[in-house]
Amino acid sequence: MSSEVEYLFKSAQKELTIAAAHVNSGKAELRRLKKIVQQKSEPTPTSWISVDDELPEDNTVVLVSGSNNTGLVEMDWLQTGEWFALSCEDSLLPEVSHWMYVPEAPFAELLNKNKDENE
């Protein structure tokens, strides 16, 4: 090969190596961002969910909070679009704005662990 062709070949190889590094870096960044989006989009049992985004299944007892900014939380269930308070006939909240699944009681994990050990 002539020195000019050899120079062009080595320059092209160098550029391809740099481009491949950028592509690999971009792929890693894309994987990182996808993971963040996935984590933020999957509600966990301890995440408050806006009623504008999603409603629980009918007859599932959940924690609810209202839009009146009092910090009041109660256990309710939804049935055909209407909220019902678990503790009394009437909800203390004028309007439900957010809900979340009732988290597992702290002792339930210990009971499950003891159950597994005894089996």
pLDDT at residue 4 greater than cutoff 70: yes
Indicate left, alpha or beta for 58 from its phi (over 0: left) and psi (-120 to 50: alpha): beta
pLDDT at residue 92 greater than cutoff 90: no
Condensed to tens digits (0 to 9), the pLDDT of residues 68-86 reads 667 788 888 888 888 888 7
pLDDT at residue 34 greater than cutoff 80: no
Structure tokens at 38: 């996935």
Residue-level pLDDT at 50: 92
Domain ranges of the chain: 1-42, 49-109
**With bands split at pLDDT 50, 70 and 90, how would you rate the model's confidence at 26?**
confident
Going by the DSSP 8-state scheme, the letter that residue 102 receives in this structure is: P
d(CA 73, CA 86): 12
d(CA 34, CA 115): 38
Mean pLDDT, residues 7-32 taken together: 82
